[in-house]
């Protein structure tokens, strides 16, 4: 089977829609570099589309009816949206599920120290990364600091043109003979990924006044850890936070800068965090754009996929199941048995990215079974590694059903695997939802440079995937 280039199928109107959708998506990426920032945008978009908060409806005792739209946020990092269909939820619902976390560097709880005249923040990388890719890049810090009194301070430094940026240093090539002989996973080790955040000492005059500069005629001396103290002075003045407040902080270090169009033809998008915010945004837009349908539609966007979907905000938590139970209670269908029936009769697209063919590293791929940029939405019948370990492996009947839907709606799609059989593979949230007995298959967008600080996608693939998600929500019923 040959891959069909999606660009060749578009008319002038569709080409304009592709670019418009790409601009909206890039704006989402720029304003959502952490899970919390993504949730803020998602809630705003959902409420603009008429969605109501589930917890508010529960307190009011209001019942849900066909066409009603609700959302539920969990710990500001995961969200589930529901649009009530015409049929009972016990017949099953159609689910789009993606994740909004991405590989990054996390600030440790006791991070600030001084060494050799520099102030550093100690980090712990999150998710699968090639550590050497994170050095000498301009970096930004995003997140929250929660003080002892419960006050939350939001941090976002490095994105504005007037902001400073941060960086991880690397050894100059002139002295790197020994470093260059190391294996790639040892060239830069995890404990070396500490970011430089300052170099100017805080000086104290005889009156005990702190300053970052020395006035003429004044006699000043430098205290121990003067550079570190200078940073603490800035943090106190700008954010009213102390060093001990790092204990209750969630600060993420991400590449600084906006998403950009790539290529002379502007056909691609180069940006941080496209795994998996590209599928999250496409799923969300499909959910918001789709009119009422026979089956209840659901979009769940979760945290922690990059580290195994663990924790209270990961897919392995009971958040989603609890939200379904609460919605069914408001549609007057709830019972433990009905919740189980609903989930087992449901259809799901596990919306996650797939590896795109890279001609530079062609030997890592099976050319017949790999996704190509620009050739449409991707289906992975199974992911896992080597002997399909950890894989969902969707059944043939479900694939036949999905094929029929996409051909009816003229959605361009391709099938793929994650590289050659013995080279590795990857995982998604598909296997977790499959535990309920529902039909699940992985689908999404092909990504070049996956898990790198800057990842590349095709505008056409992003748009086509959204179209595919809309078709699924309307017609899936197996």
Q: How far is CA 419 from the centre of its chain?
A: 22
Q: Does 263 fall in a domain?
A: no
Q: Can you give the CATH number for the domain in which 246 is found?
A: 2.30.250.10
Tally helices (H) and strands (E) across the chain. 12, 25
Q: Does 412 fall in a domain?
A: yes
Identify the domain boundary among 255, 290, 306.
Answer: 255
Domain that holds residue 431: 6-102+272-475
Q: What is the model's pLDDT at position 291?
A: 83
Q: What is the model's pLDDT at position 207?
A: 56
Q: Does 145 fall in a domain?
A: yes
On whether both 88 and 145 belong to a single domain, the answer is: no
Region class of 14: left (phi > 0), else alpha (psi between -120 and 50), else beta: alpha
What is the maximum alpha-carbon separation in the chain? 84
Pair 196, 87: CB distance under 8 Å: no
On whether both 124 and 226 belong to a single domain, the answer is: yes
Q: What is the model's pLDDT at position 89?
A: 97
Give the number of other Cβ atoms within 10 Å of residue 86's Cβ.
11
In terms of C-beta density within 10 A (0-12 exposed, 13-18 middle, 19 or more buried), how is residue 49 classed?
middle
Q: What is the model's pLDDT at position 221?
A: 44
On whether both 96 and 116 belong to a single domain, the answer is: no
On whether both 35 and 180 belong to a single domain, the answer is: no
On whether both 80 and 121 belong to a single domain, the answer is: no
Q: Mind listing the pLDDT tens digit for each residue in 149-162?
A: 999 999 999 999 99
Total domain count, the chain:
2
On whether both 448 and 325 belong to a single domain, the answer is: yes
Contacts of 91 (CB under 8 A, 6+ apart): 295, 342, 345
Q: What is the model's pLDDT at position 220?
A: 46
On whether both 453 and 315 belong to a single domain, the answer is: yes
On whether both 75 and 209 belong to a single domain, the answer is: no
Q: Does 230 fall in a domain?
A: yes
pLDDT along the chain (478 residues), means of 10: 86 97 98 97 98 96 95 97 97 97 97 97 97 97 96 97 97 96 95 97 67 51 82 96 97 98 98 96 96 92 94 95 97 97 96 94 91 94 79 88 95 89 81 93 95 98 97 93
Backbone angles phi, psi at 144, to 5 degrees: -135, 150
Identify the domain boundary among 223, 255, 287.
Answer: 255
Q: Does 264 fall in a domain?
A: no
Q: Does 267 fall in a domain?
A: no
Q: Does 262 fall in a domain?
A: no
Q: Can you give the CATH number for the domain in which 376 is found?
A: 3.40.630.10
On whether both 200 and 286 belong to a single domain, the answer is: no
Q: Which residues pair with 426 in a beta bridge?
A: 384
On whether both 170 and 285 belong to a single domain, the answer is: no
Q: What is the model's pLDDT at position 189?
A: 95
Q: What is the model's pLDDT at position 219?
A: 44
On whether both 320 and 394 belong to a single domain, the answer is: yes
Q: Quick one: angle between helices 274-289 and 35-48, nearest 10?
A: 10
| Sheet with 347-351, edge to edge strand ranges | 52-53, 69-74, 78-83, 297-302, 94-99, 347-351, 439-444, 377-380, 413-415
Q: Does 462 fall in a domain?
A: yes
On whether both 397 and 250 belong to a single domain, the answer is: no
């Amino acid at each position: 089977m040959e891959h069909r280039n999606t660009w060749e199928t578009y008319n002038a109107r569709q080409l304009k829609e592709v670019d418009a959708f790409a601009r909206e998506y890039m704006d989402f990426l720029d304003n959502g570099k952490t899970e919390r920032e993504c949730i803020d945008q998602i809630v705003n978009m959902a409420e603009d589309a008429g969605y109501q908060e589930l917890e508010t409806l529960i307190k009011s005792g209001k019942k849900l009816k066909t066409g009603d739209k609700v959302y539920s946020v969990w710990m500001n990092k995961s969200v589930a949206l529901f649009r009530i269909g015409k049929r009972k939820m016990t017949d099953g619902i159609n689910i789009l599920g993606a994740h909004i976390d991405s590989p990054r560097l996390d600030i440790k709880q006791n991070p600030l120290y001084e060494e050799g005249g520099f102030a550093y923040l100690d980090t712990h990388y999150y998710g699968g990364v090639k550590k050497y890719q994170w050095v000498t890049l301009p970096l930004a810090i995003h997140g929250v600091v929660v003080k002892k009194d419960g006050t939350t301070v939001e941090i976002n430094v490095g994105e504005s043109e007037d902001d400073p940026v941060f960086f991880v240093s690397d050894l100059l090539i002139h002295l790197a003979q020994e470093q260059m002989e190391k294996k790639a996973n040892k060239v830069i080790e995890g404990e070396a990924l500490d970011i430089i955040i300052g170099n100017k000492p805080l000086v104290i005059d005889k009156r005990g006044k702190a300053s970052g500069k020395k006035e003429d005629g004044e006699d000043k001396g430098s205290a121990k850890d003067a550079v570190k103290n200078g940073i603490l002075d800035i943090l106190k003045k700008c954010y009213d936070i102390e060093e001990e407040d790092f204990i209750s902080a969630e600060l993420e270090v991400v590449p600084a800068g906006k998403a950009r169009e790539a290529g002379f033809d502007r056909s691609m998008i180069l940006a941080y965090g496209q795994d998996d915010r590209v599928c999250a945004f496409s799923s969300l837009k499909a959910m918001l754009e789709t009119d009422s349908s026979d089956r209840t539609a659901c979009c769940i966007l979760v945290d922690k996929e990059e580290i195994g979907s663990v924790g209270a905000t990961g897919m392995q938590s009971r958040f989603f199941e609890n939200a379904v139970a609460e919605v069914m209670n408001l549609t007057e269908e709830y019972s433990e048995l009905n919740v189980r029936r609903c989930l087992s009769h449901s259809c799901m697209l596990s919306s996650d990215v797939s590896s795109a063919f890279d001609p530079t590293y062609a030997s890592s791929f099976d050319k017949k079974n790999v996704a190509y940029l620009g050739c449409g939405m991707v289906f992975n019948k199974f992911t896992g590694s080597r002997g399909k370990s950890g894989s969902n492996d969707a059944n043939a009947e479900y694939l036949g059903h999905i094929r029929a839907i996409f051909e009816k709606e003229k959605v361009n799609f391709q099938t793929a695997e994650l590289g050659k059989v013995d080279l590795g593979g990857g995982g998604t949230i598909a296997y977790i939802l499959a535990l309920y007995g529902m039909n699940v298959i992985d689908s999404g967008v092909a990504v070049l440079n996956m898990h790198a600080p800057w990842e590349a996608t095709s505008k056409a693939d992003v748009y086509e995937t959204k179209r595919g998600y809309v078709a699924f929500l309307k017609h899936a019923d197996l």
